[in-house]
Amino acid sequence: MNIDGTPVAEDAGNAVCTSGATVGSTQSGDCGKAPTGAVEELAGLALRGDNPYIEDWKSMGGKVIGYTCSYMPEELLHAQPCKILPVRMGAVGCSGTEDADIYLHKYICSFTRCLLQLGIEGEFEFLDGMVITDACDQMRRTYEYWRDEVGMDFLTMLSVPHSIEGEHRFAWYLEEVRRMGESIAEKYGSYPSSQRLRESIAVYNRYRKLMLELYTLRSCAHPKLSGSEAMRIARAGFNMPKELFNEKLEQAISELSSRPALDDCRARIMIGGSYLDDTFLIDIIESTGALVVSDTLCSGRKYVDSMVDEEGDPMEALADRYFKHIACPRMMGQFASRLDFTRRIAEEASVDGIIFHRLPFCDNHAVENTMEGRELEKLGFATLNLESEYVATDEGRIKTRVQAFLEKIGK
């Protein structure tokens, strides 16, 4: 079968790993038919205001709060008695940044500009509020534009220390998390009990464990799904109530487990980098016959890799996990652990090569990807450092580079 789960065409020849996905923007499955299973439903879930789960949530009086960074502890929002759905904001489907470019110079990364563009266009009207962190220079500086130009009703900043070493740094982060909770309480008049927070932590730990199971289905010797499918499923997880997503994901894992394996791929590839929720790059890689079997993306494996301790004080446990989860490159003094993480995931997935992706003008990943690539090459891994805009462009250039990389590694 093809890596998108469709049967292999008789004339497919050796290209058994070729994705059926169309290279380009991937808002939804858009097949026009009702999904036949959980995999199809999750992989084709509409985004933002068109998302039926968000529509249902809003129609039942729930609030939706968007965020952009993996240092934002979702459980604290999820546990609110006033019913808050946390949504990790993406900008898939953004086709241009004409309006955002009035405010943000071209030196600001295109993901940041795309988000603001959609904000200006009203695509995030379904959001009741937004949490921004100072993790990245570009995103932190859009705070004022979300406040003044988009007019976000509730907007708060979460300031994250640049190192996990030192008790007072953790204490600062914990206090920031508490303050964020207090600002929500002030806005919506609700604050979660410890018991509610524990329940939310359990829901999110379940989510992370299921996502890791999904990773196992990709990274095992006989992968059951493509990288493109996996990214679409993960993206659904950013945009659904986690309880419902967990149910669907369990079904999806069951469906995927009974599928034939994608055994004949040209090469097993891992991708690394920052936030990526558009399958554009993966579609290109997989269109060459390679299979993306794992990742170390900020929005991927790093996002789900560690659990919140379900014992002890839930707020402290929550802060501990989010502060100390496998680090973003902006966390200084943690390069060795990041490198070790990448190496470990690459070894677990038995990859033939690692493709690092970065957005133009992303300082964190421009340096990190180069550093990790150099060290991994010394350890015997083949790496490719790619740069592309968030909006799907440059398909030919990227495909040529991917093909050249595969040839270089003898695949």
Partner 1 sequence: MADQESSMAKYEYFRKVDAVCDLFQMAIATGANSPGELDIPMLMQVLPEYHASLVPQIHPEVIESILKPKNKNTIVAHMSAVKRFVGDLASRIDEGQPVIYNFAVTTPEIFLGMDMIPVCYELLPIYIAATFVGGVDDDIDTTEDEGLPGHICSAQKAPNGAIKSGKMPLPDLLVKSTVPCNSSNMMYQWAQQEYGGELILLDSPYYANRRAFDYYLEEWKNMVKQVEKTTGRTLDEGLLRHHVELGNEQLSYLYRLQELRRQVPNPDPGMHRALDVAALYLSGVNREMVEYTKICFEEAQGRAERGESILPAGKKEIRTVWTWGLTPHMIYLPDWLEDNYGMSFLECGLSFLPADIVGYVDTSSIDSMIEGLAWRSFHMPMGRTGMTHADVMIEDFVGIAKSYHADAAVFSGHMACKHSWAVAKMLGDALQEQAGIPSFKWETDLLDTRFTPHASAKAQLAEFFETLI
**Paired tokens of 365:** 């990943």
Q: Which of 332, 347, 400, 404 binds partner 1 (CB under 8 A)?
A: 332
Pairing state between β 154-158 and 268-273: unpaired
Binding mask 29-48 for partner 1 (x = CB under 8 A): --------------------
Give min distance, CB of 342 to partner 1, in A.
14
Contact 294, 219 (CB under 8 A): yes
Contact 393, 385 (CB under 8 A): no
Q: Which of 53, 124, 361, 405 binds partner 1 (CB under 8 A)?
A: 361
Phi, psi of 355 (to 5 degrees): -110, 115
Give min distance, CB of 79 to partner 1, in A.
25
How far apart CA 295 and CA 409 sit, in angstroms, is: 19
**Straight-line distance from the first to the last Cα atom of the chain, in angstroms, rounded to the nearest whole number:** 21
Binding mask 145-184 for partner 1 (x = CB under 8 A): x--x--------x-x-xxx--x-xx--x------------
Q: Measure the CA dihedral 205/208/212/214, to 10°.
A: 120
Helices (H), 258-334: 280-287, 301-304, 314-324
Residues in the interface with partner 1 (CB under 8 A) total 45
Contact 233, 249 (CB under 8 A): yes
Q: Is 382 in the site for partner 1 (CB under 8 A)?
A: no
Q: By CB under 8 A, what part of segment 228-267 binds partner 1?
A: none
Residue keyed to tokens 């940041």: 112
Give min distance, CB of 366 to partner 1, in A.
5
Give min distance, CB of 213 to partner 1, in A.
34
Binding piece for partner 1, criterion CB under 8 A, among 34-42, 45-53, 84-92, 138-146 = 138-146
Q: Which positions lie near partner 1, rule CB under 8 A?
A: 102-105, 107-109, 134, 136-138, 140-145, 148, 157, 159, 161-163, 166, 168-169, 172, 329-330, 332-333, 335, 360-361, 363-364, 366-368, 370-371, 373-374, 385, 387
